[in-house]
Structure 1
Amino acid sequence: MLATFAAYGKSENLPSETDSVETSFTNPVWDGADPWMVKQGNDYVYCFSNNNGIAVSSSKIMTQRNEAEYIWKAPASGWNSNCVWAPEIHFIGGHWYVYYAAGVSGPPFIHQRAGVLRSVNDNVYSDYKDMGMLNTGDNPEDVSENIWAIDMTVMKLKGNLYAIWSGWLEQMDTDATSQHLFIQEMENPYTLKGKRVLLSSPEESWETGGPLNLNEGPQVLKHDDQVFIIYSCRESWLKEYRQGMLQLKDSDADPLDPESWIKTGPVFEGNDSVHGVGHVSFVKSPDGTEDWIIYHTKKTTEPGWDRDVRMQPFTWNADGTPDFGDAVKAGKPLKRPSGEVEIEQN
């Protein structure tokens, strides 16, 4: 039996059994960081790291987390025994796959690598098999030459599967090392194919300028026939953390060719009231009519990783690119996701 624990930080204005159903909510919705939410059928699955393990919860309501269960705890020893970071869960071919970063020790966080878990069936709360470490280095034949990697996500495109992650150009003995985005084709959901391709480096004025230049937290966003990668840049512990965007030039472009992507930014950032906007994910509203961005922010302007989770709707520009608008300040009422009130009423 998997351990269970209550979710924290539920929206304060969600009703009790005796209250009328509220039509609005306020940010933040709960504590946490690196929020990964995915809609599968009528359920919103939320995946997060906690106490050196990975947990998931499932709810039909976006703005409320239900009780969560651990699906995996880090082993007592080995490459993935510590520093479990930023898991994502994806439903592929009848199984759930969880991509996460972990290391043998830290700090310093110089040992981080990407790993993957696979569910034994299509139940998100099933047992999971550890499928091992992914070789994110330059030598596919020798995992001993593996290179630092975090924040792996996957992209399905025209029948092919691709891994996208944040990594180093070469293995270093300091975690004060710049991070870049890489892409690589996958043979299957737990095996990389070919060699990694450098997709993006922190080079633009809006993604540089601090003590350490980062590209991390890549997330795939699709709209009609357009494909985007929304990613985090600047420093995760500073209020300047923000989102950049890579756009595939056209639907026939090769995603493994860096020249196929157009960089734009920042596309979503903080303001006087909201600080350190980072590590996003995207879902549709319960009735499928709205697009929502899930993200974390810093609780203060001081350097550090004390963060909470927020969500808000976004729209699309006439050219098909996303318009995320302004980050909404804490406490400002937002209309609940379309279809959510009806679910609660029924």
Structure 2
Amino acid sequence: MTLKFASMVEKILLTLFLGLMLSVQSAATFAETFTNPLILQRADPWVYKHSDGYYYFTASVPDYDRIILRRASSMQGLSSATEVTAWDQPASGPMSGFVWAPELHWIDGKWYIYYAASEANDIWDIRIYVLENTATNPLTGSWTEKGELKVDGMGNDSRFFALDSTTFVHNNQRYLLWAQIPPGGNSSLYIARMINPWTIDLSTQTMIATPEYSWEKIGHNVNEGPAILKRNGRFFVTFSASATDKNYKLGLLTADQNADLLDPASWHKNPEPIFSSNASTSQFGPGHNSFTRSADDSVDIMIYHARDYENISGEPLYDPNRHTRAKVITWNADGTPNFGVPYANGISGYSSLKSAFSGKCANIDTSVDGGTANGVDLVQQDCNGADSQTFMYESIDSQYFQLKAMHSNRCLDVYGQSAEDGANVNQWDCWGGNNQQWKKVDAGNGYFQLQNRNSQKCLDVFDWNNANGASLKQWSCNGYSVQKWQEIP
């Protein structure tokens, strides 16, 4: 912010002129951002992005007595969307006890809900059930009970534990994945071919995972809650392990897309968990996730539940504060998913950052070895939606967040932890330092400043330069247009 090229008066006039020009342009569309927790007291969350442009949501409720649905045109919209009850547990009979972990699927022009339920007189005899709805909007119409989806009880048909079912299609064949406790065994993952949406081919039922590592056996020996993601020539199945307290966490199975999915040898388990409690962000027991996509189908989003506190009094299942949360996941160079850590409560999602001064977007300089290395500068460039212009919000606490570049998985960083005006802003390995933490300061009319925690200075288009490639640095916060930013997808 020197006076080398213009007087301050000229700069102020330029600001007013550019602000006027920008004000007559059409408003930018909203970015894919959302605030965690997304929905309070909703565990085992499931989000289905349908072709009608809506996100559909269901989850377990604290009373475990009904199935609820919401829909919204955005992820954030789910937080305030009207919630309807699609189905209530009966007063007696095989579905009168716990009602757990519903999932909503659109199959062959109809809606189906898969859920687990038990009998009030024997709450641990848990089985899988299916509902069907022919309405276009599943929040309307009527749900027909298709009955129990029978799985092989392996000699223990009178009383067993099967739940957390999900379904997917591969090579025109529909499959069911679920968790089940075999006689004398532990909660394990199974797969089978489906004959129709409420029936499996029992002869194909196969166990593909069972607890084997110590991190899967804390409190209870558990593999449950499978969720499937097909990318990069592979199937990735996340699952939840251990008890539902702070020890709950996600593991990962992988299979090649050309493998026989019914062959246990096709599935390989990561020896370490891939998503677990994080005291620094006050997130505990993250698990039972699902996957969805951003509105433009460019980004994978993981939906999961977690608590804000570590210690629970009594049985964790009766603690109601497992809240629904969402986070963007990225992809490593080897084609595997990068789940990172559970974010703190606060903003999440992703966007580009458009300058009110120049109309250009913050951009990691890709002219330097593709822009993936530590130390590459943050500049401005014509907005083009590239990954080098797309930043993920990773909340550190309720105010501050890291901004991670989508193309490099590195964070915006004030170089050398400098507190000086004009200090360079570049990317660096994410490590959570104060010089990598930013917060939004409202600047009115949909704009905000980005203030650094370490220096308390703001991201600034240096020297009032509106050219492509102009440097973005930090400068004392002043409210001029060179420090105002807007989210665009």
TM range (shorter): 0.7 to 0.9
Equivalent position of 1:47 in the other structure: 58
Q: Distance in 1 between matches of 2:285 and 2:240?
A: 10
1:153-168 mapped onto 2 (5 Å cutoff):
153-168=166-181
Equivalent position of 2:435 in the other structure: none
Match 2:35 to one of 26, 37, 44? 26
Q: Distance in 1 between matches of 2:261 and 2:180?
A: 18
Equivalent position of 1:211 in the other structure: 219
Equivalent position of 1:244 in the other structure: 251
Q: Provide structure 1 residue ranges, at least 5 long, that are not aligned to the other structure.
A: 1-19
What percentage of aligned pairs have identical amino acids?
Answer: 35
Equivalent position of 1:328 in the other structure: 343
Name the SS for the 2:43 alignment partner. Answer: coil
1:267-286 mapped onto 2 (5 Å cutoff):
267-272=274-279, 273-286=282-295
Structure with more relative contact order (C-alpha pairs < 8 Å, separation 6 or more): 1
In the TM superposition, what whole-angstrom CA distance separates every residue of 1:62-101 from its partner, at most 9, and x where no partner exists?
A: 0222102111112222111221111001111111110001
The TM-score normalised by the length of structure 1 is 0.83
Name the SS for the 1:268 alignment partner. Answer: coil
Alignment of 1:38 with 2:48, yes or no, is: yes
Equivalent position of 2:137 in the other structure: 123
Q: Distance in 1 between matches of 2:227 and 2:310?
A: 25
Equivalent position of 2:296 in the other structure: 287
Cα gap change, 1:318 to 1:22, in 2 (>3 Å): closer
Q: Distance in 2 between matches of 1:185 and 1:146?
A: 23
Equivalent position of 1:257 in the other structure: 263
The answer as to whether partners of 1:183 and 1:199 remain within 8 angstroms in 2 is yes
Equivalent position of 1:6 in the other structure: none
Equivalent position of 2:192 in the other structure: 184
In the TM superposition, what whole-angstrom CA distance separates every residue of 1:165-194 from its partner, at most 9, and x where no partner exists?
A: 111112x8xxxx731111111111101113
Q: Distance in 1 between matches of 2:73 and 2:86?
A: 20
Equivalent position of 1:266 in the other structure: 273
Q: CA RMSD in A?
A: 2.6
Alignment of 1:96 with 2:111, yes or no, is: yes
Name the SS for the 1:269 alignment partner. Answer: coil
One-letter amino acid matched to 2:57: Y
Name the SS for the 1:219 alignment partner. Answer: strand
One-letter amino acid matched to 1:112: I
The answer as to whether partners of 1:165 and 1:217 remain within 8 angstroms in 2 is yes
Match 2:91 to one of 76, 79, 97? 76
Equivalent position of 2:240 in the other structure: 232
In the TM superposition, what whole-angstrom CA distance separates every residue of 1:146-165 from its partner, at most 9, and x where no partner exists?
A: 63111111121111111111
Q: Distance in 1 between matches of 2:274 and 2:68?
A: 30
Name the SS for the 1:212 alignment partner. Answer: coil
How far apart are 1:291 and its partner, in Å?
Answer: 1.1
Q: Distance in 2 between matches of 1:27 and 1:258?
A: 37
Q: Distance in 1 between matches of 2:242 and 2:182?
A: 17
The answer as to whether partners of 1:137 and 1:146 remain within 8 angstroms in 2 is no
The answer as to whether partners of 2:326 and 2:348 remain within 8 angstroms in 1 is no
Name the SS for the 2:146 alignment partner. Answer: strand
More helix by share: 2
Q: Provide structure 2 residue ranges, at least 5 long, that are not aligned to the other structure.
A: 1-27, 353-384, 386-445, 447-486
The answer as to whether partners of 1:62 and 1:337 remain within 8 angstroms in 2 is no
Match 2:101 to one of 44, 62, 86? 86
In the TM superposition, what whole-angstrom CA distance separates every residue of 1:179-237 from its partner, at most 9, and x where no partner exists?
A: 111111111110111332111111023322x221110110111114321111000111x
How far apart are 1:314 and its partner, in Å?
Answer: 0.9
The answer as to whether partners of 2:228 and 2:237 remain within 8 angstroms in 1 is yes
The answer as to whether partners of 1:136 and 1:147 remain within 8 angstroms in 2 is no
Q: Distance in 2 between matches of 1:152 and 1:256?
A: 16
The answer as to whether partners of 2:60 and 2:102 remain within 8 angstroms in 1 is yes
**Rg larger in structure:** 2
Equivalent position of 1:312 in the other structure: 327
Q: Distance in 1 between matches of 2:289 and 2:306?
A: 10
The answer as to whether partners of 1:154 and 1:162 remain within 8 angstroms in 2 is yes
Moved more, 117-126 or 196-205: 117-126
Q: Distance in 2 between matches of 1:143 and 1:71?
A: 31
The answer as to whether partners of 2:222 and 2:241 remain within 8 angstroms in 1 is yes
